[in-house]
Amino acid sequence: MPGVAIVGTQWGDEGKGKITDLLAADASAIVRFQGGNNAGHTIVHDGETYKFHLIPSGILHEDKLCVIGNGVVIDPGVLLDEIEGLRKVGVSPANLRISSNAHLIMPYHVLLDTADELKLGKLSIGTTRRGIGPAYADKALRLGVRVQDLLDEKILRKKIMTALESKQQALRELSVRRRKLRKEGEPESDDVPDDRLDLHTLTEEYLAYGHRLEPYITDTARLCWTELDAGRTVIFEGAQAALLDLDHGTYPFVTSSNPIAGAACAGAGVGPTDIEQVWGVVKAYSTRVGSGPFPTEIEDEAGRHMSEKGHEFGTTTGRPRRCGWLDLVALRYAIRLNGTSALAMTKLDVLAGLDTIKVAVRYRSKEGAVLDEFPYHQTILHGVTPEYDEFPGFGDEVSDARRPADLPPEARNYIDFVSETVGVPVALVGVGPGRDQVIWMDGSR
């Protein structure tokens, strides 16, 4: 099984890191192909909790290559902090590889992200404010600074100069605001540029990053080809999820990259025929951070149960996640978009303790039409009411289950219903944060 993509099927935070970490046991390389440090994955290993934003989830396996592919946008300061963090807990970063073609997040991207959000006011996207959108915008405008530029001072200076020129107006407006705040004795907010934002300082700062990152920089597409051509398994680890996809998600309330499996090809430099399996990760319920439509959102007792028991706070921003029931209309859409071959259902244990569990099986439009498919027009999606099937709860705890037979019949029934309705097997079920808290549904492990 040379190429395996692992992707999110909802709005992110499905627990892809844990599934990647598990499946990585049979792989030789784990490759991230999009997103940046807007992502955050938590892995609990030997009782220790590890949080990563940029480094692929396979880093805890000593013998695996961990690749940051060309499709990722990299904030070098954040990456170096993560590398240092790994060293501190005794994990070697020696197997890390960074694509020379990946684009860099610059301090002005972070500032512009925040400034744009503030400008949008009530219409804001709720971004992570990590500079993701502006960095991808510069990539598309051909004003981006790439990882390889860090290794050539002349080029780096020239690229930063060109990029800065195009932002002068926006940055000037921000400076005026900073001066005004200073005059009024107001605390300066971090959306206003500071003194680091001149050509010389930026070039020096990024050159220094380049020196430290140089040992890891390489042609990562070629590295993937070597592994795949030798018949070894390469995992393509998605960040965010289908409903946050720039093309197929709930635009504009999306991220600025394509988290679907097809994007693994462009974002890692491999071909579609290199990917043989696509694992879709789905939480047993739904969550969303940031703004945008969320048909099955609930704010009742069950929602509070999910939030508290599921610790539903963003790994990256700490924001509380919106919670709701599992949405099979949206899931079917995500499954088809990704060409999903198997599902990994995470956090089943969080639902334990609820008397009744609901699953959305179709939508009803404002006009009363029955919608079995995810509507292509966002205005319709904003107005839909989900229709639910209801299931009895399955006791107080399932976190000790390790085999299908350990699960109460109500829980197995819930999993079977999901699998039959969406037409894809649920191959793996997560019942807690620990690496061993999983059930292989075919009983094979």
Please tell me what DSSP assigns to residue 50: E
How many residues are there in the chain?
A: 445
Residue 29 beta carbon to ligand IMP: minimum distance, rounded to whole angstroms = 22
| Interaction pattern, residues 31-50, with ligand IMP; x per rule: CB under 6 A | -------xxx----------
Residue among 38 and 346 whose Cβ is closer to ligand IMP: 38
Cis peptide before 252 (omega within 30 of 0): yes
* Part in contact with ligand IMP (CB under 6 A); list of ranges 5-13, 339-347, 381-389, 427-435: 5-13
Residue among 103 and 157 whose Cβ is closer to ligand IMP: 103
Which residue of 10, 127, 203, 250 would you call a contact of ligand IMP, by CB under 6 A?
127
Residue whose C-alpha is closest to residue 395's, from 437, 353, 348: 353
Residue 21: HSE in the Cβ half-sphere, 13 Å Cα cutoff: 24
* Part in contact with ligand IMP (CB under 6 A); list of ranges 8-16, 218-226, 265-273, 297-305: 8-16
Catalytic: 436?
A: no
8 Å CB contact between 127 and 252:
no
Residue among 236 and 414 whose Cβ is closer to ligand IMP: 236
8 Å CB contact between 328 and 7:
no
Task: Collapse the DSSP code of 263 into the 3-class scheme (helix H, G, I; strand E, B; otherwise coil) and give the result.
Answer: helix
Which residue of 240, 277, 286, 341 would you call a contact of ligand IMP, by CB under 6 A?
240
List Cβ neighbours of 283 (8 Å cut-off, separation of 6 or more): 10, 13, 14, 15, 326, 345, 346, 347
Residue among 13 and 149 whose Cβ is closer to ligand IMP: 13
Residue among 10 and 340 whose Cβ is closer to ligand IMP: 10
Interface with ligand IMP includes 134 (CB under 6 A)?
no
Residue among 333 and 388 whose Cβ is closer to ligand IMP: 333
* Part in contact with ligand IMP (CB under 6 A); list of ranges 72-80, 119-127, 205-213, 372-380: 119-127
Task: Collapse the DSSP code of 60 into the 3-class scheme (helix H, G, I; strand E, B; otherwise coil) and give the result.
Answer: helix
Residue among 106 and 354 whose Cβ is closer to ligand IMP: 106
Please report, in angstroms and rounded to a whole number, the separation of the first and last CA atoms in the chain: 18
What gap in Å lies between CA 300 and CA 10, rounded to an integer?
A: 21
**Interface of this chain with ligand IMP, residues 255 to 274, rule: CB under 6 A:** 255-256
Residue 199: its H or E element: helix 199-213
Which residue of 86, 132, 202, 235 would you call a contact of ligand IMP, by CB under 6 A?
132
Interface with ligand IMP includes 290 (CB under 6 A)?
yes
Which residue of 18, 32, 61, 130 would you call a contact of ligand IMP, by CB under 6 A?
130
For ligand IMP, the nearest residue by Cβ is 290
What gap in Å lies between CA 289 and CA 14, rounded to an integer?
A: 12
8 Å CB contact between 220 and 269:
yes
User: Could you count the other beta carbons within 10 Å of the beta carbon of residue 221?
Assistant: 18
Size of the site for ligand IMP (CB under 6 A): 21
Interface with ligand IMP includes 126 (CB under 6 A)?
yes
* Part in contact with ligand IMP (CB under 6 A); list of ranges 220-228, 253-261, 376-384, 396-404: 253-261
Question: What are the DSSP E strand ranges found in 254-300?
Answer: 275-283, 286-288
8 Å CB contact between 11 and 279:
no
Selecting among 21, 41, 103, 248, the annotated active-site residue is: 41
Catalytic: 355?
A: no
Residue 292 beta carbon to ligand IMP: minimum distance, rounded to whole angstroms = 6
**Interface of this chain with ligand IMP, residues 12 to 31, rule: CB under 6 A:** 12-13
Q: Which residues partner with 236 through β-bridges?
A: 5, 31
Could you tell me whether strands 385-392 and 426-430 are parallel, antiparallel, or unpaired per DSSP bridges? unpaired
Interface with ligand IMP includes 357 (CB under 6 A)?
no
8 Å CB contact between 342 and 279:
yes
Interface with ligand IMP includes 10 (CB under 6 A)?
no
What gap in Å lies between CA 333 and CA 346, rounded to an integer?
A: 19
Residue 418 beta carbon to ligand IMP: minimum distance, rounded to whole angstroms = 21
Residue type, 154: K
Residue among 132 and 261 whose Cβ is closer to ligand IMP: 132
Residue 240 beta carbon to ligand IMP: minimum distance, rounded to whole angstroms = 5
Q: Which residues bind ligand IMP (CB under 6 A)?
A: 11-13, 38-40, 125-128, 130, 132-133, 239-240, 244, 253, 255-256, 289-290
Catalytic residues: 13, 41
